[in-house]
Structure 1
Amino acid sequence: MGGPLRRVIIFRLKPVDADPKNPSTKLGRLLRDSPNIVDALPLERNETEKSFVNLNGESYEAERPEAGLVKGFADYLTGKGHESCRHRMLPPGESRPLFTDLYSTQLGLLVEAKGSVTRESVRMAIGQLADYGRFVDHAARAILLPSKPRKDLLDLAQSQGCVVIWPGGKAYGSTEANLIT
């Protein structure tokens, strides 16, 4: 008594051996009963890499450098005679869909683009590709980056079964030489 005030964190634990309750809302019941939904969509055609976002009444400009990267790579693939799309997935129990960045139909290439060549970006892309790959049939998974990453990140991607692709002049470099020729 009389000491400094303390903060307390309360964990409300639920027994692991109890059956979960049925959803009480219409959305909850819909999500519980919905099948795994996957459909192909046209590529997102944002011509700008910046947009304005309004979050909690505050407006700010958000950058999306990967939008230009995806558009450039899709145009390159189109020039090689390959069609591209993206996929929307709604896994069971989710209320919001997941979207791939690009999928090359003829190559079976599932692509996740990142706007920077950092460890965090490569790790995020690997995780996203692992998640998307459970829903979209593919022959290869690829990370599209704005430039060639350092060897350690190339090794990381390869260890997880991911090809790395980057622009290089009018063509694209890749850790898989014959993948996009």
Structure 2
Amino acid sequence: MRLILCKKAILVEGDSDELVLQRAYRDNNNDKLPIEDEVEIISVGTSFLRFLEIAECLEIPVKVVTDNDGDLESLKRKYNNYLGKNKKSNIEICYEEKIHTGSLTIGKDNKPFNYNTLEPALLRANSLEKLNAIFDTKYETEDSLLKYMKSNKTECALKIFSSQDKINYPEFIMRAL
């Protein structure tokens, strides 16, 4: 219903993405929240394509902000109806077009850390010192901060949203604004 009633929408995957996008919008629009401009930032989980079908039919301007999860080909297949020669004038898919890697592993099974999600993108756009200050932490390495951010996604996003200090945002988020 929120999509149908708004003038514009930005679709995101989860709560932490929504909080960060709300703050990014406010930082780049004279301290106004998106709702004040009749823009909805909607957390849609994995239902992006259903929302895009509705937006396409109703010609609602929509931006999607999504992680590339380290697999650009999979992302391009998923959004094939909205990219390249199939691009719709009212829909834009915003994602980082570069794949990032590193040596960090997580969990008991030492699973490789995914450097292609929101948290590492925020760290790349800022610095260890800047995010430590916002999160009130004292991590000495980027990898240790990334582990903390992954385990505390919503808490970190809430601290970014409520911080007195502004941060820098990744290019794909700025493109959505």
Q: Aligning the two structures, in what range does the TM-score lie when normalised by the shorter sequence?
A: 0.3 to 0.5
Higher helix residue share: 2
* Structure with bigger RCO (C-alpha 8 Å, 6+ apart): 2
Q: Which has the higher strand share?
A: 1
